[in-house]
Amino acid sequence: PDHLRFIRSYVSLQNARCYSVKHLSVQERIEKKRKAALTGGGQLRIAAQHKRGKLTARERLELLLDPDSFVECDMFVEHRCSDFGMEADHNKYPGDSVVTGQGRINGRLVYVFSQDFTVFGGSLSGAHAQKVCKIMDQAMMVGAPVIGLNDSGGARIQEGVESLAGYADIFLRNVMASGVVPQISLIMGPCAGGAVYSPALTDFTFMVKDTSYLFITGPDVVKSVTNEDVTQEELGGAKTHTTVSGVAHRAFENDVDALLNLRDFFNFLPLSNKDPAPVTECHDPRDRPVPGLDTIVPFESTKAYDMLDIVHGIVDEREFFEIMPNYAKNIVVGFARMNGRTVGIVGNQPKVASGCLDINSSVKGARFVRFCDAFNIPIITFVDVPGFLPGTAQEYGGIIRHGAKLLYAFAEATIPKITVITRKAYGGAYDVMSSKHLRGDVNYAWPSAEVAVMGAKGAVQIIFRGKENQAEAEAEYVEKFANPFPAAVRGFVDDIIQPSTTRKRICRDLEVLASKKQTNPWKKHANIPL
Amino acid sequence: MAAYRSAAGFQRVLHAVKHVCFSKQRCGVIICRYSTVYDPNEKTFDKILIANRGEIACRVIKTCKKMGIKTVAVHSDVDSSAVHVKVADEAVCVGPAPTSKSYLNMDAIMNAIKQTGAQAVHPGYGFLSENKEFAKRLAAEGVTFIGPDTHAIQAMGDKIESKLIAKAAKVNTIPGFDGVVKDAKEAVKIAGEIGYPVMIKASAGGGGKGMRIAWNDEETSDMGFFLSGHISDICANGFCWCLQVLADKHGNALWLNERECSIQRRNQKVVEEAPSTFLDPDTRRAMGEQAVSLANAVKYSSAGTVEFLVDSKKNFYFLEMNTRLQVEHPITECITGLDLVQQMIRIAKGYKLQHKQSDIPINGWAVESRVYAEDPYKSFGLPSIGRLSQYQEPLDLPNVRVDSGIQEGSDISIYYDPMISKLVTYGKTREEALKKMEDALDNYVIRGVTHNIPLLREIIVHPRFVSGVISTKFLPEVYPDGFKGHMLTAGERRELLATAAALYVAVEIDGEKVEVSGEWNLASALLPITINGKHRTLQVCKHACFKLRVLSKLAASLSKHMPEKVPEDTSSILRSPMPGSVVAVSVKPGDNVAEGQEICVIEAMKMQNSMTAAKTAKVKSVHCKAGDTVGEGDLLVELE
C-alpha cells in the first residue's frame, strides 16, 4: 500500500507538471524535461516493465555500456502527432519512445538506441525513427558499430504513414550501413510487423528467452488467416528463431545475461570495415601443442566426433563465441581469437548429420563468411564434409541455389583464409569449403584427411562396375584415394601436418597473412545467388 | 591496433573446484623409489605379452622396461591409439571393442602370442587374470603365465571351495551357509536362519562385482532371481582388509602387510591406504601368518591377496583370496619398496624370493584414490563417458604417483572400466600422506568427463576418515542422502567469491578488504593464488562444483528484476542417468505404476541400474526397448 501511495502521489505530481510548465523559467523547464525524460513512461509503467522481468530502456544501456560513458542525444525530441488527442501535453514525453546516443564498451566506441516500452509501448513514431536515423548516420560517418535494443509494440498507429516512413528510413540506413559498420540487434521485447525487418537487415540478431518475440503477424492474425492455433512463444519466441527459422543468432536467459554477453561479443568485432579486428592480450602460448588432437579423429571414417573439441583445443583460452549454436548444427560458425587476434571459425560438424552441407547450413555458413570478409576477420575453416545432403526435400528446396551461396562467399572473400582438412573432403563440398582453388591462402591436411570425389563404396561401384571382387576394388580405392596424398602431390594442400601442431601453424600463418592484400575486380556490386 | 584485455567484462562465469593449502615444505623423497634391485645379469624373459589394457598394462610395461624385457600389447580396435599400445614395443589387435571379442578372446590372444613370440603373459587384473582355462592353454603352448598355477586359481576362484580350504588351513572363516542357493525361496529361508543383514555373492564373481547386501526377505528374494550365490553373515559395520602375499614355486611365502580397503561404494573400493590405522602389530602378524598358511595350503606362487572382513572387536574372517595382482597394489609397493610386478615376473621365471619376512618394512604411509569417470552425485558414482578434452596429472608435486593408461584426448568409452587413474600419495605419516592427497587432487586437471574428485576430496578430509574410524558403510553413513558436494563454510565461500572477483578487479566483501594475489593465467587450468596469506589452488572450468557469477554492482542489483525460470517437472519423466544399454523394460503404455516401482533396467559398464517411478501414475509413453543404447539424459518413459 505504501508503494502504491507513492506511485499515486507521483502520478498526480506529473499531471501537475504539465499545467505549471509554462510558468517556469527556461532553466527550470530544462531540468523538468530532463527529469521527465529519465523516467520515461512513469513509475507505474516502469514497475510493470520490471514485473514482466524486463529492464527499462535506460537500465539496459547502463548495463551495456561502460560506467558513465553514455552520451545521450535528442533527449528533448517529442512526437509531432496532433490527431486523436496526441497533441495534449500529458501525451508528450521528452525523448519519446526511444533513448539514443553513443557510449563505450570496454573503452571502444559504439552507437546505441534503446526502445522504451514504457512510452506508448515503445511504438515507432516519426520522431522515434528520426532519432534512430540520426545516430546511425553518425555511426557510419565516424566508423563505429550500431547496437539496437528492440522492445516495441510496432508502428505508432496514431501517426499512420509517418510511422511507416520512419521504418523505411531506418531500413535504408541499415542497408547503407551494412558492410560499413557492424550492426547488432538485441530483441528484448515484442518486435512485430514491419519492425522485424530492421533486425533482419543487421548483421546479428540476438534474443532474450521467454520475453522477446519476432513475427510478421501475431497469433490472432495467423488464426484468422490460416486457422492455425499457435502461441506467441511458438510462433516467434527465442527458441523458434534460434532453432527452427534461423532468424536469430543466439538467445540468452534474461536481460542481464543478454547485455553482458553482448559486451563480450562486442570485443570480437572491429569498429568498421576500415578497422582491423581487435587484438587482446593473450595468455595462451601461440605455439602451444594440443596433444589431444592427435587422437580426436576416430579410426572408422563413419564414426563421429565433436568438431567443437577441435575448435576449443586450438583457439585462445578455449574461448569460442558460437553463432547460431542450435540451428543447422551440421556446420559450426563463430568467433574466437588466435594469439589475441579475432578470427572467424567455420567447421563441418561430423556429430550432426555427418557434417554434410544442406540448405540451412550453407546459408548459415555463407552469411557468416561474408560478415568476416566485410570486416577483415580472417577465417579458419575445418573441413570434414561427406558432401551435400541428397534427397527431394533438398533439391526441391533449392540446395543448388543455396549451396552456391557458401561457395560464392568463400570464393569472393579476400581476407586471410586458412583451411584444415581433418578428415573427409568429398566431392563438390570439398571445393566449397575454402579450398585452395577458391583462393585459400594456406590449406592443410591432417594425416586422417581423405580428399576424393566420393566415399570408397560409391566410387568403386562406378569405376569397377560389374567387377566381381568389389571388396578388393574398394581396398584399392581406399589405398589410393582415402588419404591426403592425392591432394598433396598436386599442391592442393600446402602441407600435411601433425594435428597437435595445428595451433602453432595457424598462429604463424596469421602473422604472415596480416599484411595480405587482395582485391576483386571493380563491379557495382556482385550478384550472389539469393 | 589497441591491445586491451576484456577485464571490465563481468560476464565470465567462474566455476571453481575445491581449493586447498599447498604444503610449504616440499620434501625431496621420490615416491616409490623401489628398493628392489633390477639385476641386469639375472636371466629373465625376452618378451612378455600383457593381456590387458589401460593403466595396468602401462604399469606392467614400465617394470618390463626396467628389467630389459620387450613388451607386446594387445588391444581392441577402438584402443589402437591407446597409451598402452604406444608404450609397448609391439602391439597386436585382438578384435572389436566389446571385451568378449577382444580382451577376453583367448583365441586371438593365443594367436598374438604365437605371432610375436612372447615367452610369458602377464594378465594384469580382471579379464583373463583368474581364468584357469587361459592358464591351461598357455601351459599347453609352453608359455609362462605370470601368476599362480591353475590349481590355485580354481581352488580360490570358487567361493565355496576356497572357504573349505581356508577352514582346513586353520584360517578364521565367517559363519554362514557354504553352498549354492537354488532359488529365491531357499535364499530367503537361509537368510532368515543366519539373521540379517546377509551378503549374497555370485559363486564365481570377482571383486565386488556380483556382491550384494540384503537387509530383509524382500531384497533377498529380489536378488535371488539373478544371483544364485552363497550367503554369509556380513559384519554390518566391518572393515575390509587385504593382506598382500608373495609366494615362490619353492614353497616360500611372505606377507607384505595389509591394505585398508573399507571405503567402498557398491562394494567397490574407492580409497585405500596402507598400513591400516586400526591394526596392531599382533593382529597384523596373526592375519599375515594365516594368509601365508592359506597360500601354502593351495601351493600358491606369485603375488596374491587374501581379503579379510574385520569386525569392531578386531576379529577377522577370511573372505576370499584374489589370485592376481590387485588394483591397489601400489600402496603396498610404496610402504615396502618392493616392485610387485618384478617379483611376479621373477617368481614366474622360477626364482626364489629374495626377501625374508624380517626384510619387509612398513615405511611411512601411502594412500590411493581411484579416480573414476563417474558422477559422484548419483549413488556415489554412476559411470560417465566422454573425451578427455584436457588432462593434466599432478606429477610436479613430490611424493605423488599416478598410475594411468590415458592421456589428453583419450576416450572413456562404455566398453571398459571407467577408471581414469590411481592417484597415490606417500608420506612419513598418515597425516602427511593425506595432506599430499589433498594437494594432488586439487592440482589434478580433468575436463571433458564427469569425475569423482569432488567425492574423493571430501572423503580424505572428512573428520571421521581423518580420525581413522573407517568402515565399509562409511559413505552411506556419512552421506545418508547421497553425496551432495562440498558444503562451503562461510570462510571458504568468502575466499571463493574474493578470488572470482579478483580475476577482474580488487575485492571487498561486505565492506572488508580481502587480499588476493598470485600469478594466474587465464589460459592455464590451475589457478594458484594467495588469499589473505593462505595458499589455495583453484580450477576454473565449466561443470564444476561451485557456480560463481561475477557481476558488477549494477548488474547484480538489476538482476532482482529477472524472472525466475521454472525447471522442468521431472517427476513424470524418466531419463537415463548415464549412457548405457537398456536391459529390460517392465512397463507398457497404460500400465499403472506405484512410486518406487521398477520401470526399466539400464546397464552401463557391467553395472545394472534399476530405474524406478518417481510417483504413482499411469504410464503415458515408453521411449525405449530392451537392447537399445541410450545416452545420458535420454527420455526413457513418460508418466501421466
Q: Which residues contact A392 (CB under 8 A, 6 or more apart)?
A: none
Whether B536 maps to a domain, the answer reads yes
Question: Domain check: are B455 and B346 in the same one?
Answer: yes
Out of 3.90.226.10, 3.90.1150.10, 3.30.70.380, 4.10.80.40, which CATH number does the structure's domain A26-267 have? 3.90.226.10
Contact between A296 and A499 under an 8 Å Cβ cutoff? The reply is: yes
Among A residues 91-120, those touching chain B with beta carbons less than 8 Å apart: 106-108
3-state helix, strand, coil in chain A (%, to 5): 45, 20, 35
CA distance, residue B86 to nearest chain A CA (Å)? 12
With CB atoms and an 8 Å threshold, state whether A278 touches B4: yes
Look up the ipTM and state it: 0.77
Which residue of chain B is at minimal alpha-carbon distance from A211? Answer: B563
pLDDT of residue A262: 97
Residue A9 has pLDDT above 60, yes or no: no
Judgement on whether residues B603 and B471 belong to the same structural domain of the protein: no
Give 10-residue mean pLDDT values along chain B (640 residues). Answer: 31 35 32 68 92 95 94 93 93 92 94 95 93 91 92 86 87 72 73 67 52 68 48 53 92 92 83 89 92 93 89 80 92 93 94 90 93 88 84 92 92 88 94 94 90 92 89 86 83 76 65 71 76 77 70 86 78 79 86 81 71 82 85 83
Residues B77 and B140 in one domain: yes
Residues B69 and B133 in one domain: yes
Catalytic one among B53, B259, B324, B447?
B324
Cα distances (Å, whole numbers) of residue A243 to A349, A354, A370: 16, 19, 21
A340: nearest CA partner in chain B: B3
- In a domain? residue B631: yes
Given B8, B389, B561, which is nearest A66 (Cβ)?
Answer: B8
Q: Are residues B290 and B427 in the same domain?
A: yes
- Do B537 and B465 lie in one domain? The reply is no
Interface test with B, best of A256, A315, A319, A498 (most B CBs within 10 A): A256
Of A260, A278, A283, the CB nearest to B10: A260
Nearest CA in chain B to A499: B409
List the single best residue of A56, A106, A260, A261 to mutate versus B (max B Cβ within 10 A): A260
B368 conformational bin, left if phi > 0, alpha if psi -120 to 50, beta if neither: beta
pLDDT value for B425: 95
| Nearest Cα to Cα of residue B460 among B369, B374, B370 | B369
Q: Is residue B499 part of a domain?
A: yes
Closest-CA residue of chain A to B80: A299
Query: Are B408 and A292 an interchain contact pair (Cβ–Cβ within 8 Å)?
Result: yes
Closest approach of A90 to chain B, Cα-based (Å): 28
Nearest to B389 among A53, A283, A313 (CB): A313
Best residue of B84, B389, B524, B542 to probe chain A, by most A CBs closer than 10 Å: B389
- Chain A residues touching B11 at Cβ < 8 A: 260-261, 263-264
Asked if A296's CB is within 8 angstroms of B409's CB, the reply is yes
Taking CB atoms and an 8 Å cutoff, what residues of chain A touch B77? 299
Does B70 map to a domain? Answer: yes
Query: In Å, what is the CA distance from A370 to each residue of A278, A418, A522?
Result: 18, 15, 18
Q: Which chain B residues are Cβ-neighbours of A292 within 8 angstroms?
A: 387-391, 407-409
pLDDT of B611 reads 79
Active site residue B137: no
Cα of B630 vs its chain's centroid, Å: 24
Collapsed DSSP state (helix, strand, coil) of residue B94 = strand
Chain B residues in contact with A291 by the CB 8 A cut-off are 407-409
**What is the CATH classification number for the domain harbouring B415?**
3.30.470.20
In the beta sheet, which residues pair with residue A124? A155
Of B1, B78, B562, the CB nearest to A53: B562
In sequence order, the β-bridge partners of residue B531 are B516, B534
Interface of A with B in 222-251 (CB under 8 A): none
Asked if residue B296 belongs to a domain, the reply is yes
- One domain for residues B553 and B607: no
Q: Contact A292/B8, CB-based, under 8 Å?
A: no
Residues of B in contact with A53 (CB under 8 A): 561-563
Domain count of chain B? Answer: 5
B409 closest CB neighbour out of A53, A255, A293: A293
Q: What letters, b where the CB count within 10 A reaches 16 and e where it falls short, cover B505-514? A: eebeeeeeeb
CB spacing of B561 vs A312 below 8 angstroms: no
Any idea what the CATH number is for the domain that residue B592 is in? 2.40.50.100
The Cα-based distances of A21 to A17, A77, A327, A426 in angstroms read: 6, 17, 54, 74
Q: Classify residue B458 as exposed, middle or buried by CB count within 10 Å of its CB (0-12, 13-18, 19+).
A: buried
- Same-domain pairing of B222 and B245: no
Residue A494 at interface with chain B, using a CB cutoff of 8 Å: no
- Residue ranges of chain A that CATH labels 3.90.226.10: 26-267, 291-449+493-513
With CA atoms as reference, report the closest residue to A367 among A389, A416, A334, A396.
A334
Are B194 and B307 members of one domain? no
Other Cβ atoms less than 10 A from the Cβ of B196: the count is 16
C-alpha–C-alpha distance, residues B234 and B174, integer Å: 8
In the A/B pair of chains, how many CB contacts fall below 8 A?
110
A379: alpha, beta or left? (left if phi > 0; alpha if psi -120 to 50)? beta
Q: Considering only the C-alpha atoms of chain A, give the largest distance between any 2 of them, rounded to a whole number of Å.
A: 103
The pTM of this model reads: 0.80
Interatomic CA distance for residues B543 and B451, integer angstroms? 11
Q: In this structure, is residue B335 part of a structural domain?
A: yes
Q: How would you classify the pairing of strands B507-509 and B400-404?
A: unpaired
Asked if residue A439 lies in contact with residue A518, where contact means CB atoms within 8 angstroms, the answer is yes
d(CA A27, nearest CA chain B) in Å:
31
Show residues of chain A in contact with B552, CB under 8 Å: 67
Asked if residue B439 and residue B314 are part of one domain, the reply reads: yes
Number of other CB atoms surrounding residue B384 within 10 Å: 24
Spell out which chain B residues touch chain A, with contact meaning CB-CB distance below 8 angstroms: 1-6, 8-11, 77-78, 80-81, 387-391, 407-411, 448, 521-524, 551-552, 554-555, 558-559, 561-563, 565
User: Do B74 and B204 lie in a common domain?
Assistant: no
User: How high is the pLDDT of residue A287?
Assistant: 94
Cβ neighbours of A254 in B, within 8 Å:
562-563
Q: According to CATH, what is the number of the domain A291-449+493-513?
A: 3.90.226.10
Q: Which residue of B has its CA nearest to A310?
A: B389
Mean pLDDT of chain A: 91
**B555 with A340: Cβ contact below 8 A:** no
Q: Chain A contacts of B562, Cβ < 8 Å?
A: 53, 253-257
Summarised one tens digit per residue, pLDDT across range A67-126 is 999 999 999 999 998 888 888 888 889 999 999 999 999 999 999 999 999 999 999 999
Cα–Cα distance for residue pair A213/A204, rounded to 1 Å = 16
The residue in chain B having the minimum alpha-carbon distance to the alpha carbon of residue A296 is B409
Output B621 or A307, whichever has higher pLDDT. A307
Q: Which domain holds residue B94?
A: 47-146
CATH number at residue B98: 3.40.50.20
Does residue B229 sit within a domain? yes
Cα A439 from Cα A437, distance rounded (Å):
5
Using the beta-carbon criterion (under 8 Å), do A299 and B78 form an inter-chain contact? yes
Q: In whole angstroms, what is the distance from residue A167 CA to residue A339 CA?
A: 42
Same structural domain, B261 and B332? yes
Residues forming beta bridges with residue B264, ordered by sequence position: B269
User: Given CA atoms A310, A311, A313, A314 in this order, what sign does their dihedral have?
Assistant: positive
How much is the pLDDT for A88? Answer: 84
Contact A256 B1 (CB under 8 A): no
Which grid cell is A31? 531540468
Subunit contact A292:B523, Cβ cutoff 8 A: no
Nearest CB among B9, B389, B565 relative to A309 is that of B389
> How far is B10 from chain A, CA to nearest CA, in Å?
7
User: Is the CB of A283 less than 8 angstroms away from the CB of B11?
Assistant: no
For residue A519, give Cα distances in angstroms to A23, A182, A406, A419, B599: 64, 21, 19, 20, 66
**A59 to chain B: which residues are within 8 Å by CB?**
558
Q: Which residue of A has its CA nearest to B79?
A: A299
Instruction: Give the whole-angstrom CA distance, residue B372 versus residue B417.
Output: 9
Residue B222 within any structural domain of the chain: yes
pLDDT at A209 over 90: yes
* C-beta atoms of B559 and A253 within 8 A: no
Catalytic residues of A: 193-194, 428-429
Pairwise CA distance, residues B455 & B451, whole Å: 9
B97 interaction partners in chain A (CB closer than 8 Å): none
